[in-house]
Structure 1
Amino acid sequence: MTNPATDPIEERPVLVVDYGAQYAQLIARRVREADVYSEVVPHTYSTEQLLAKNPAAIILSGGPSSVYAEGAPKVDADLFEAGVPVFGICYGFQAMAAAMGGKVAKTGLREYGSTDARAVGGSRSILEGTPDEQNTWMSHGDSVQEAPEGFDVLASTAGAPVAAFANEAKGLYGVQWHPEVKHSAHGQAVLENFLFKGAKLERSWTTGNIVEEQVARIRAQVGNSRVICGLSGGVDSAVAAALVQRAVGDQLTCVFVDHGLLREGEAEQVERDFVAATGVNLYVANEQERFLSALAGVSDPETKRKIIGREFIRAFEEAERAIMSKAEAEGEPIRFLVQGTLYPDVVESGGGEGAANIKSHHNVGGLPEDMKFELVEPLRALFKDEVRAVGAELGLPAEIVGRQPFPGPGLGIRIVGDVTQERLDLLRRADAIARAELTSAGLDDEVWQMPVVLLADVRSVGVQGDGRTYGHPIVLRPVSSEDAMTADWSRLPYDLLARISNRITNEVDGINRVVLDVTSKPPGTIEWE
């Protein structure tokens, strides 16, 4: 029996075979940035399993192993005889070379980081349109010493005599460097040469096509049944709900549990702007007092998270029962629950094999396993940047689509200490000032997110208005990242930091000090709690 919610989408995928690479998901993202659909699959897939997915092309990722080490992942030589274009990257490049009869060896000359690659020979192939010498990003201790028979050597480096090769007749290509990372100056050009010249693919994975296909899939899955969706105020739940609304209209009811832990203006964005943009039926549960009472006197961060998750579940269940009661009285029980699962969630939970798991604090706070709903997951094939693009295509306001990532427990875990209404008001105002100044400086696209943290259990002496103060410090945590797995602190201009600091200390009573967190991830996390 097929299920439109989890069946493979209609596009023939470019499969990224993951050999334990740090960048496997990034490769898939770069392929999609070229408007070509891509999926990540484990290296344990056999050739038969790979070909069963009817791939348009296959990319072999990098990985930490040596191809000649005992137990190292292998690639079957018969894959290269299947007539499917294949592109090897780093370890995948070496695995292809070894499987096809080339020579891979440890040279003693490692190359990590920035490395110059120089074109050799007469063929350009996948290097067409790139300079004879280009800066690349390497990470290897082994290298291909001799290319397999029938392959043209395209480039070399000081540590890799064969740094790129091609067998045009068989549609087989590879590079020793990582074209998917931005440190490789012409990496995207090399990748697109493989996609459009080597594999002869077309640009078909566009935002308009995604919306059209997902709407059709939702209609096929839901039919005439009723649907419920929990709105958190975040991008994922908003876009998922907007897609379902586009597909089934008034069959959808959204529940917004206002726990009082959102940032300034975000509850209004849900209740006013989202409804205006989509016309969705919205049920609002005003539960600020409930959450404040449950959090009273609690300062341990993990305990706060559990309390917020527990109260969210209870509030959502109560709202769901009220909606269900009305729906059943009308003879239309609710059968489906919308979940904003993204593609990285699917990959990290095992590639989406089997039943979908509901993540704690994800969209609606983590729902009980015994809830009797079928899941509708319209975003499970998408990365975060694609979700934002779909949201814009659906007409959602820029304030919602461009919203910075925000933790499910909200400001409750951006207060280091126990949560009170007074402290929430302080933090909410300081956060609003910092976000407004970041936007005014035109830096929203350069900063992944900027948590603003109130050190509620810390006080410091200050002087304000010729008087001594004993106020709280605020921490600014601007970070730059692509996927939140790693992050670096954002080097904001000093004049911007000065404006933020001056405004917060002048306009927010009780705050007399602003500090900057300059820790990368690792070792620090993005959130303080």
Structure 2
Amino acid sequence: MQNKIIILDFGSQYTQLIARRVRELNVYCEILPYYRIPEPDDTTKGIILSGSPYSVTDEKAPAPDLTKVLGKVPLLGVCYGAQYIAKHSGGIVDSSETREYGRANLETLDNTNPLFKNIDKGCQVWMSHGDTITSLPKGFDVVASTKDVKIAAYHLPIRNVFGIQFHPEVYHTTQGTQMLHNFLFDICGCVPDWSPASFVAATVEELRNTLGNDKVVLGLSGGVDSSVAALLLHKAIGPNLCCIFVNNGLLRKNEFDSVLDSYKHLGLNVKGVDASERFLKELDGVSEPEAKRKIIGRVFIEVFDEEAHLIKDVKWLAQGTIYPDVIESVSVNGPSVTIKSHHNVGGLPEKMNLKVIEPLKLLFKDEVRRVGKELGLPENILGRHPFPGPGLAIRILGEITAERVALLQEVDDIFINALKANNLYDSVWQAGVMLLPVKSVGVMGDERTYESVVALRAVQSTDGMTADWVHLPYEFLARVSNEIINKVRGVNRVVYDISSKPPATIEWE
């Protein structure tokens, strides 16, 4: 078993970013809620305590018992984590006029301290704290300060404990990666053995041992997660993996045939099921967004269940669950209420009475792509933008009809192909088109028109939690708008969505 770092989550928005930074240094880590502190074993090399939206002075602030880990393995407290360790050990933390938000500089630091090895005096760090450590317990040393905060970092040598008031995981802390490197390798003694190749080797072996000669069914979506899960399983059990790709009639133009063709070249055992008429019939007359999602989820389960029962002796259901989904289900505040109802396998395990296998449950999205590259997944699938489970249904605001789907497919095809042709596709995290439930007056030739409005959307993001709109070139947008209006009958106005998330969402429904 490889070495690992445990990250205790106190509810910070940056917790997953800490984990990604650790894994980028090829060290495996796990995120656990603060109340699930494990007994350190031989594989646990260190523990990082995350930040939190709470103040350590709040009555309901997270307050775990650290006695079973203090002195056992190195600890690194980040922001709230640093404040909590200090307060828990007898120091003083209070709200004062020395709070800091945003950029700051380490005006003094101790380069002899292992955490600050190869760190430059004056380096920029990112602060986000209202509370301040004003007095350290006996035995704690101050090892870095900013202009306004004397105790920006501390060290308790006798127990190998470190605390920092800033966030090393964010881009704005310019030497944050070096600090994490120092903690992982110089302080914790980690070995950089977490890589796509090592993950593939270990996962394939584990899948073979777990599944043996059993048959497994997997619902493919054409996206990265389900495709990588399929390749891992195929590598482990070959033809005993049975894949089902359902066309719900809400895919992009020609996507059903092109995705099936891609999978055929990968040697996967895939059955394509065209259920588009069934989905559209069920959606007839429905315009409420959540009702659409629930109908699509229910019909998918019905179709998938029917097709799976045609396969003899299936014992396992494979899912493309990734690590953020796992974290969300055991989050600090309990299961998130924001999980969308279109999660395309929701309800399947109970209904089908199958055991569940989740080969990607340890990976973040960016790691899934790296593993896919290791497995030889073609670029046309590997580099695909995320696509919502309900497909174009939640990009058609209002009622779903075959005519409205066909219209949006044409517009979407023009936009996506234009991004690719102009080398913009790979610099965008997700792009799509919304068909609005309004009509607009226009003039085409000498005629007055009253036709549909479409909104183009392109965002940049890491994981979809936050997103900024992409500043696509005006000339590009002008050409795309002209092409859409000239080629797609029924559209006479194109707008570009420049809303970020938050306050908006990526999708409109």
Name the TM tier (shorter chain): over 0.9
Aligned counterparts of 1:159 and 1:396: Cα–Cα separation in 2: 51
RMSD, aligned α-carbons: 2.4
Secondary structure of residue in 1 paired with 2:30: strand
Matches within 5 A, 1:430-469: 430-455=411-436, 457-469=437-449
| 2:13 is the counterpart of 1:33 | no
Shift of 1:432: 1.8
CA contact (8 A) 1:173 1:194 kept: no
CA contact (8 A) 1:237 1:363 kept: no
Aligned counterparts of 2:235 and 2:106: Cα–Cα separation in 1: 49
CA contact (8 A) 2:39 2:69 kept: no
Aligned twin of 1:342: 322
- Of stretches 114-123 and 252-261 in structure 1, the one that deviates more from structure 2 is 114-123
Shift of 1:101: 4.1
Q: 1:42-64: per-residue Cα shift (whole Å, max 9, x none)?
A: 11134xx3425842210010112
Secondary structure of residue in 1 paired with 2:166: coil
Matches within 5 A, 1:111-510: 111-121=100-110, 123-167=112-156, 170-277=159-266, 279-323=267-311, 327=312, 333-350=313-330, 360-364=341-345, 366-367=347-348, 369-455=350-436, 457-510=437-490
CA contact (8 A) 1:107 1:159 kept: no
| 2:9 is the counterpart of 1:18 | yes
Aligned counterparts of 1:384 and 1:403: Cα–Cα separation in 2: 12
Distance change in 2, residues 1:366/1:442 (3 Å): farther
Q: Could you tell me which amino acid in structure 2 is paired with residue 282 of structure 1?
A: V
Aligned twin of 1:330: none
Aligned counterparts of 1:408 and 1:365: Cα–Cα separation in 2: 11
Aligned counterparts of 1:406 and 1:53: Cα–Cα separation in 2: 41
Shift of 1:504: 1.6
Distance change in 2, residues 1:398/1:122 (3 Å): closer
Aligned counterparts of 2:116 and 2:421: Cα–Cα separation in 1: 41
TM-score (norm 2): 0.93
Aligned counterparts of 1:123 and 1:362: Cα–Cα separation in 2: 50
Shift of 1:392: 1.4
Q: 1:160-187: per-residue Cα shift (whole Å, max 9, x none)?
A: 2110123456432221111112222222
Distance change in 2, residues 1:295/1:38 (3 Å): same
Shift of 1:227: 0.9
Shift of 1:76: 4.0
Secondary structure of residue in 2 paired with 1:290: helix
Distance change in 2, residues 1:464/1:197 (3 Å): farther
Q: Could you tell me which amino acid in structure 2 is paired with residue 436 of structure 1?
A: N
Distance change in 2, residues 1:298/1:147 (3 Å): same
Shift of 1:363: 4.2
Aligned counterparts of 2:126 and 2:111: Cα–Cα separation in 1: 24
Unaligned segments of structure 2, at least 5 residues: 333-338
CA contact (8 A) 2:155 2:163 kept: yes
TM-score (norm 1): 0.89
Distance change in 2, residues 1:79/1:106 (3 Å): farther
Shift of 1:297: 2.4
Distance change in 2, residues 1:496/1:472 (3 Å): same
Shift of 1:17: 0.6
Secondary structure of residue in 1 paired with 2:492: strand
Aligned twin of 2:336: none
Distance change in 2, residues 1:368/1:14 (3 Å): closer
Shift of 1:80: 5.8
Distance change in 2, residues 1:231/1:219 (3 Å): same
Q: 1:290-342: per-residue Cα shift (whole Å, max 9, x none)?
A: 1222222222222222221222112112211222xxx2xxxxx1101101111
Shift of 1:402: 1.5
Q: 1:451-510: per-residue Cα shift (whole Å, max 9, x none)?
A: 31111x311112233433222111112222222222222222222222322222222222
Q: 1:413-460: per-residue Cα shift (whole Å, max 9, x none)?
A: 1111222222212211211222222233433343221231111x3111
Secondary structure of residue in 2 paired with 1:389: helix
Unaligned segments of structure 1, at least 5 residues: 1-9, 328-332, 353-357
Aligned counterparts of 2:309 and 2:57: Cα–Cα separation in 1: 60
Distance change in 2, residues 1:469/1:13 (3 Å): same
Aligned counterparts of 1:196 and 1:443: Cα–Cα separation in 2: 38
- Of stretches 140-149 and 374-383 in structure 1, the one that deviates more from structure 2 is 140-149
Shift of 1:220: 1.2
CA contact (8 A) 1:234 1:363 kept: no
